[in-house]
Structure 1
């Protein structure tokens, strides 16, 4: 993904409202927490009266309603030139559950997902700036870990002077983080007709102990993968001294046997790497495949290579990139026989509209054997049954994109108060209540009275109807408060008492 200089509306949390800020590729933000900070209010009518700062939060449209889906929320990182940037969680109806605007200046969020750290569920995402050559996104940033209360636990940074790339970060059972660094190194490109004093973007895996920041393991693509394996053209003409992104690593993970498995988009190859020695155990796909790849499994410009629970493998086959090799993208599952050195096609997962995504994308197995696909540059996501049929489909606005999309179960308990918005209509008070990140709210209750400590004028309840729920208070009392209730009627949180101004 390539990010250009642009202006976007930047909002923050709480019940306050964001203003307009400039966006440009620039330095990393200072270390920050995962909480929100209020700023001044805009004049335009808000989308959510309780959270007017979210008035440009992109809508998520569900086109195929949930039917037999697995439990869970949908995790996105919307990116556009006209909306808010940050990690976004929505429910199966497309309604926001939690959003956090990323810090200014010039910062984007990528790859929001649920992982486990120290045996506890955490949210992780990448923050930083993105540039690159040839339309390929190269990140300089760091990874955020946040707990169930959305409080920042820590940030994972690359060792030394390097900065972490956005494409992937996996927390291992040993509480280490595996991720990529794109390291521009001097390189003689004369064998390819390029300059002897050229620059190569080397793909570097780092494994970092999250608690201490100590580097445990490092692997460099240039030590193991030759430039002759690449399908990407090198920069030429006035750009020939820009880094040649011959490898373009875009996923890293662990196989069932503990080996590292990776995907390199520009070699059309996935690799298995010995975690101790760094030796390439095998290549699959591309120009130097160690396997005979069956015709239905063949892939190109791919993303998100993972091993599935039954031992098979899956990836997002873009089928398009610098060149277009297939008419549409897909999720594909295949078996790998390491003894016979052959692959066997198992299944493919398609969007009903046969979408082609030239960049980005994700493909993940779900708990019931189904799969969830994020269509990358095409701002769509789909949930599939094991046989490939679609049981949920939706999308961000078409001018957006989300590098990946996931589905997972998540329980959030925000540390702040619910947000409350009031306006008078027809002689009554319309109460708008929300609580960014709260996942257990089942109903809302509004109470009112003459003073904040004397709210005995009456109360009214309403089932939660999405991110924001409205309730009608008869007449115009002096003060109103909103209470968030769980399914058993227990009070989970209470807003501030807000005066009614007619």
Structure 2
């Protein structure tokens, strides 16, 4: 029986998942070559108040790129989109061949269409220094912004596309020798890693603005080193500021976050001077709060002397912690008063009261909610405007993290067609079932799938059923052996978004080994038009709302003979189904013979013509004309004539 085969199939999957139950697996492989996307653990607290949108994450196993080996590796890391149920929307790992990616997010300020941006990591051997990538809603790479100057790489912290999509901001690190006079040792020098930023022309990767901390931020502002520490020695030296975020306001000034000084700085867009410091040892503000080891500082608004800033207060690092829990902060600054003031107007504590010692992100959403990426294991949370917790989510796997997490709306329109795989199962001629799996990697608003089958490769598509889309991959079970199948993606308005390629249904290499008990070596494909008509009769007969007249009309339309009545509908449909299976089996074999004879005739024509036996061929063809017509496929590639499989009548 089919269900026995299905149970065997499912049980084999269960065995395979024992070792990697935290990863998804898929049947449809064409668009997703060996992709194993991460599963989520989600806890909802008030789902109705959640903002609309998708989750954008870029899981990685380790930040430093691994050296390539001969070891088999599945696609797991890279850019991924999920909905807020944890259902996969887009697996982007094949786009850059399983490379680490960072700062993956939706972008709305380039033009009227949504885009995606992220940073592609550097190569372990230094041959690739990484770059920023911009992808359109068809998941096609539109721009690649390359590493600039003599920098080691395109830094992983930031790829911030500015309004209009002409320029972008990125963090920079470079090595420099610095005099240690600030530590009271003017005769000594030491290597340091200088932190800074650049503004780049997206079209050309040209550096338009460049700034770094070398001659602007003294060594003593760092929380990493002290005057009594020994010199760092050779390159790269002390990482004494560690920049991890940069943003720009309408006035043209830049906000930067230096993690190793516990400080946010406003840098003049005119001359590169430091306009003010918030936090750290030399804060210019009267503030009633602290923050440290912070990440993802951004302008929420900036209007003259009033600035609102969002920042993740990690309050900890690998060495220890300054507070008991990490938190997202919304800070309001007033620079018109003396002294300037800074006040926290919203604080979002980490829901589990834990600490995010590395990485992370914090952003307000358009509806007033807040979305926080706590980084480790992809731990994320959404909060209402008043701070109420709405949802928490994390990767089911403890082997992966994401540097930042984002939530936002996006419309994905993949250029590639939906991906479809079909297989037939059964134990005898009267019990065959076709399992169809379909997915469309990156499509955001498919609500339904319609499935079609053809009696042969160029046959007319017949609708064999439909089902709602409820997961990344949808399975449909069709009665009988459907040999040529396809699927249409349908949106909420009933429009066809795209159609898959017509795919041939796979069969077991050994039917007997798969449990086949039929008289032949395996089943023959069914004619979908006959099966669909039989199913329609059965469905209508079982409907409480169908009248006898309606049922009889369907039966009369779908059959050329036979009588029906109010008490004979189910018997008729059952007999029709059995007859359909036998008819389809016989006609399919006849069609195979016809195609085989046609191919043989063409072969003989070529051979005999080359051998000078044209007359014999003419006699053969003349003799064939007196027999029943059989189709010969066109050598010119023209469409073959359709052979109606609903009849077995021969001329």
TM-score bin (small chain): 0.7 to 0.9
SS of the aligned residue for 1:67 comes to helix
| Aligned counterpart for 1:170 among listed residues 156, 160, 181 | 160
What per-residue deviation string (whole Å, max 9, x for no partner) do you get for residues 333-388 of structure 1? Answer: 12112123121121211232112110000000111221100002352111110111
User: 1:290 maps to what in 2?
Assistant: 284
Task: Kindly tell me the number of residue pairs found equivalent between the two proteins.
Answer: 449
Q: After TM superposition, list the pairs within 5 Å mapping 1:119-130 onto structure 2.
A: 119-129=112-122
Separation in structure 1 between the aligned mates of residue 230 and residue 94 of structure 2, nearest angstrom:
35
- Larger fraction in helix: 2
Separation in structure 1 between the aligned mates of residue 134 and residue 119 of structure 2, nearest angstrom:
9
Runs of at least 5 residues in structure 1 that lack an aligned partner in the other structure: 1-44, 132-138
Q: After TM superposition, list the pairs within 5 Å mapping 1:15-414 onto structure 2.
A: 47-51=25-29, 53-64=33-44, 66-80=47-61, 84-101=76-93, 107-115=99-107, 116-129=109-122, 140-162=129-151, 163-173=153-163, 175-189=166-180, 196=188, 198-233=190-225, 241-255=235-249, 257-294=251-288, 297-309=289-301, 311-321=307-317, 322-338=319-335, 339=337, 340-396=339-395, 397-414=397-414
CA contact (8 A) 1:164 1:182 kept: no
Greater mean alpha carbon deviation, residues 375-384 or residues 84-93: 375-384
CA contact (8 A) 1:231 1:268 kept: yes
User: 2:420 maps to what in 1?
Assistant: 420
Deviation at 1:83, TM superposition (A): 6.2
CA contact (8 A) 1:305 1:315 kept: yes
Choose 1 or 2 for highest CA Rg.
2
Separation in structure 2 between the aligned mates of residue 434 and residue 247 of structure 1, nearest angstrom:
46
What per-residue deviation string (whole Å, max 9, x for no partner) do you get for residues 415-460 of structure 1? Answer: 1111112233453111111111111211111111222321445421
**RMSD across aligned positions (CA):** 2.6
CA contact (8 A) 1:314 1:363 kept: yes
Q: TM-score, normalised by structure 2?
A: 0.65
SS of the aligned residue for 2:214 comes to helix
Deviation at 1:141, TM superposition (A): 2.1
1:348/1:316 CA distance change after superposition, 3 Å: same
Deviation at 1:102, TM superposition (A): 5.7
User: 1:462 maps to what in 2?
Assistant: 467
What per-residue deviation string (whole Å, max 9, x for no partner) do you get for residues 94-148 of structure 1? Answer: 11111111667883100111122245432100012389xxxxxxx9521001111
User: 1:7 maps to what in 2?
Assistant: none
Deviation at 1:204, TM superposition (A): 2.3
User: 2:502 maps to what in 1?
Assistant: 497
CA contact (8 A) 1:158 1:181 kept: no
What per-residue deviation string (whole Å, max 9, x for no partner) do you get for residues 170-216 of structure 1? Answer: 11225211111111223345865899453211112111111232221
1:195/1:62 CA distance change after superposition, 3 Å: farther
CA contact (8 A) 2:78 2:98 kept: no
Separation in structure 2 between the aligned mates of residue 437 and residue 231 of structure 1, nearest angstrom:
44
SS of the aligned residue for 1:107 comes to coil
CA contact (8 A) 1:102 1:127 kept: no
Deviation at 1:278, TM superposition (A): 0.9
Separation in structure 2 between the aligned mates of residue 459 and residue 103 of structure 1, nearest angstrom:
34
Runs of at least 5 residues in structure 2 that lack an aligned partner in the other structure: 1-22, 63-73, 427-431, 508-651
SS of the aligned residue for 2:316 comes to coil
Separation in structure 2 between the aligned mates of residue 385 and residue 108 of structure 1, nearest angstrom:
32
| Aligned counterpart for 1:439 among listed residues 444, 448, 472 | 444
1:236/1:64 CA distance change after superposition, 3 Å: farther
Q: TM-score, normalised by structure 1?
A: 0.83
CA contact (8 A) 1:158 1:206 kept: no
What per-residue deviation string (whole Å, max 9, x for no partner) do you get for residues 137-173 of structure 1? Answer: xx95210011111111111124323232110121122
Separation in structure 2 between the aligned mates of residue 127 and residue 401 of structure 1, nearest angstrom:
16
CA contact (8 A) 1:74 1:89 kept: yes
1:259/1:241 CA distance change after superposition, 3 Å: closer
SS of the aligned residue for 2:238 comes to coil
Deviation at 1:53, TM superposition (A): 3.0
1:442/1:404 CA distance change after superposition, 3 Å: same
Separation in structure 2 between the aligned mates of residue 500 and residue 194 of structure 1, nearest angstrom:
78
SS of the aligned residue for 1:403 comes to strand
Separation in structure 2 between the aligned mates of residue 130 and residue 378 of structure 1, nearest angstrom:
23
Separation in structure 2 between the aligned mates of residue 238 and residue 105 of structure 1, nearest angstrom:
37
1:251/1:130 CA distance change after superposition, 3 Å: farther
